[in-house]
Every structure is written in structure tokens, then in C-alpha cells.
A and B are shown apart, each in its own frame.
Chain A
């Protein structure tokens, strides 16, 4: 009886609409809705039911992933990396309610429109490299692995759009520090091994390579800043491992 009810609830639960919210994105695991919650601009990430899974397993996986994501967002914040504030974590409706970041663009769009195929953009590249390198370094210094470091998962706010702005007076407004915001911690986990950090860097390198192949200096510069800002003891190991991973790919060799 209990099980029948569970299954019935399971199959009829797919939300396509949330009152007062509009759908902004649909991924493989969740839908994103934008609206207002508790008087603030908000984003809802709802992990939808996967019908091919056993309902119990589906509930469990969703709950664990929701937990993991929320936990990582808060940990990253404590590590000094800007992330959205959490308004509600709701296991019953499979949702995370979080702050909607206004006036921001993805790093991908920023690079595409301000750096790719442009001249004299060395300073902007350095700016981006420093922002990303130091953010990833701060995460890794606290053993947080993002798991999906791509330029689409980084938002940029108060960004410089030209060379002049970047080199201009560094007053309060022109201080760009901390203006990169990391999002989508859906694949994040806490792991202290050099291998995991190296793979995280490698994922970033591959993402840059495929999305921004016209800016080849981006990743090497990021890596420089990463090394500069990373405070964890295993920094050398991570770099050594990274070279190893780069040579063999993300997957480990399994012999025996």
C-alpha cells in the first residue's frame, strides 16, 4: 500500500510551471526558474523526477545531490568565493531556492564579445585569468572540488569592457576583485587528494580549449595565478598530478 502511494506520487510530480516564475533553462538533471521569492530576485533549481529510476532510488539520489550542492555553495562562500545566497533548500519539492544574480553575464559571453578576435586585449585576459585562477585556488585551498569548471558556470559582474577601463584609476568602483561568481555546484564534492584537484584543473583546461580556442593564453595564465594564490600544502603535488592527467586524460588507468 505504502509503495503504491509512493509510486503514484512519484509519477505525477513533474512541475513544468511554478506560479510567478518563468523557466529559464533546462538541463539534464534540473530546470531553472526565475522569479521573486521572499521579496528578492530568486532562482529555483528543481531536480526533476527520472522516471526510469526506481522511485526510492530517485528520491535518495536527488536528496543527496541537493544536499551536496547546497553544502558546497556555502563552503565556497566561506572560502571567499562569491556564490549565490541560499533562500531555501527543499527536499520535498526537490528544489533549491537561491539568489538570482542581477546584471551579470557568463564569462563565456564576456570572452566571446570582448576578447575573442580583438586586439590589445592582453590586460583583459590577465584580469580574467587572475579572477578565475584565484577563485579556483581558494576553493582548492579548502579542498572543495567544483567538478564542472566551465566559463558558462562563471558569472561576471562589474566587469571592465575595454583596455582603458582596466588600466584606469583603481578607485572603489574600478576595483574588480571578487566579482566573479561561481555557480552550478551540482557536481561539486569535498576531496583533498591532489588527483581530484588536478582533474578539476584539467576539466577547466578542456572547457577553455573547446569554448575559447581563439584565446590560447588564457589557461596557462590562469594556472600561474592559481599557483600564486593556492595556499594548500599539496600545491606541488597538484601541479605534478595535473601534468600526469594532461598526458593521460581524465580517467585513471585501471590495471589488474
Chain B
């Protein structure tokens, strides 16, 4: 199945690979494994992602902050969820973008170096009981109206730029602007 790999900031030497799953049955289990650290990946609600670029920007900020020793949360994976949120409250951010036990559609993000994708992905992907589908189907899953509400994007803004551009611009200024 089609996945998506993007090179993150050159200076970090990191990459992210993203997978989309639908009809996931064991979210509760996945969540426990994530919290215990058994799964080394980032898992989020697919409905809140308008475009993969949104996740890529959040992940890029996370790896850059990691390089400069400036992570706000404890791991790079929680940092991605925190970066996606406009809130400065860590718990709220993780609850909002991370999975809860009811979640069916999820995006899995794996951070890796230039070579070892498959090995890193294998364990994480094996733990997910659901249907892995093409990344292109994300647009069927995204709940655009909820995304607009969460990121406080109004119509005048959408006249001059795409929703994903509004979202990433706001994400990037959350540390020093209030929304």
C-alpha cells in the first residue's frame, strides 16, 4: 500500500514516513503501547489532518527542536502532536490530536534516518489491526469543518490561501502568538 516519505530538515538528517489506516479495531491497545514506549511512532486522528503537509510541518519542527535540545514534551512523537495543536497545554494537545479508544481512522508517522525505514516500520505497523489504505484517501476522512473550527480559520482567510497553508502558518507561530 502506498505510503508517503518526506525528507525533513537537512541538518537533522531525518525523514518521516506516513501511513493511513481505516477501520482500526485495537486503538485502546495501540494507545497503551504508545504510552509505555513499546511502539516508537506517532499516531494521530486522521480526521483532524487536512493534508499530510500539516503532519510533516509539525514533525519537522519536532526534529529541529530535538536537534537544538528544545523539546517541550518528553518524546519526539508527543512533540509532533503538541506542535499540531494551537494550545500550549500539553495534555489538551495530546488528547485532541492523539487517538482515543473510539478512534477508527488513524495516521501513523515514523521518524527515521535515510536508510532504515522498513525495519523501523515493521513493528509499529504489525501492531495495528486495521485496513491500511492509500494515503490519497485521506481527503475522504478529513473533517474539514472541525479542522476549521480547531484552527479558527474563517472564510475571509480561505479566500486568499488554502486551508492547509492557514493551518501550518498558525501552528508555526503558536509559541508567541495567541489565537
Please determine whether A38 and B60 come into contact, CB atoms closer than 8 angstroms.
yes
- Within A77-118, which residues are at the interface with B (CB < 8 Å)? 77-83, 85-90, 92, 99
Decide if A74 is an interface residue (CB 8 Å cutoff). yes
Q: Taking CB as reference atom, which chain B residue is nearest A36? A: B7
Is A189 engaged at the interface, CB distance under 8 Å to the other chain? no
- Contact indicator B173/A89 (Cβ below 8 Å): yes
Asked if A86 and B169 sit within 8 Å, CB to CB, the answer is yes
For A82, give the chain B residue with the smallest CB separation: B160
Considering the complex, give the chain B residue whose CB is closest to the CB of A179.
B160
Count of A-B residue pairs with CB < 8 Å: 78
Bound-state Cα–Cα, A87 to B10, Å: 14
Q: Is the CB of A70 within 8 A of B172?
A: yes
Cα A177 to Cα B168 in complex, Å, equals 23
At the interface, yes or no: B6 with Cβ under 8 Å from chain A? yes
What is the CB-to-nearest-CB distance from A206 to chain B, in angstroms, rounded to a whole number?
27
A99: chain B residues at CB < 8 Å are 165
Complex CA gap A86/B173 in Å reads 9
Tell me the minimal C-beta distance from A190 to chain B in angstroms: 10
Shortest CB–CB separation between residue A176 and chain B, in angstroms? 13
A212 within 8 A of B: no
A79 closest partner in B (C-beta) = B156
Interface 1/0 per residue, B50-89 and A, CB below 8 Å:
0001001100110010001010000000000000000000
Is the CB of B161 closer than 8 A to any CB of chain A?
yes
- B157 in the interface (beta carbon within 8 A): yes
Within 8 A of A (CB), among B142-177: 154, 156-157, 159-161, 165-166, 168-170, 172-173, 175-177
- A residues contacting the other copy or chain, number (CB 8 A): 29
When chains A and B are docked, how far (Å) is the Cα of A90 from the Cα of B8?
14
Across the two chains, which residue of chain A brings its CB closest to B159? A178
Q: Chain B binding site: helix, strand, loop or mixed by DSSP?
A: helix
Which residues of the partner chain A approach B123 to less than 8 Å between Cβ atoms?
none
Residues of chain B within 8 A (CB-CB) of A166 are none
Residues of A contacting B10 with CB < 8 Å? 19-20
Least CB distance, B177 to chain A, in whole angstroms = 5
Are the C-beta atoms of A38 and B160 separated by less than 8 Å? no
B9 in contact (CB, < 8 A): yes
Instruction: Tell me, in angstroms, the Cα distance from A20 to B11 when the chains sit together.
Output: 11
CB-based contact A38/B8 at 8 Å: yes
- A136 to chain B minimum Cβ distance, whole angstroms, is 14
Whether the pair B172, A87 counts as a contact (CB closer than 8 A) is yes
> CA A67 – CA B172 in complex, angstroms?
10
B64 / chain A contacts, CB cutoff of 8 Å: 88, 90, 92
Q: A85-B168, A88-B172 are in contact. Are A71 and B56 (CB under 8 A)?
A: no
* B169 near A77: Cβ-Cβ < 8 Å: yes
CB neighbours of A73 from chain B (8 A)? 169
Judged by a CB distance under 8 angstroms, whether A256 is at the interface is no
Report the minimum CB–CB distance from A69 to chain B (whole Å): 10
Residue pairs across A and B with Cβ atoms less than 8 A apart, 14 shown, are A39-B7, A39-B53, A74-B169, A78-B156, A80-B156, A80-B159, A82-B161, A85-B161, A85-B168, A87-B168, A88-B64, A89-B172, A99-B165, A178-B160
Query: 16 other contacts beyond A74-B177, A86-B173, A87-B172, with CB at 8 A cut-off?
Result: A39-B53, A39-B56, A67-B176, A70-B177, A77-B160, A77-B161, A78-B154, A80-B160, A82-B161, A83-B160, A83-B161, A86-B168, A88-B60, A90-B64, A92-B64, A92-B68
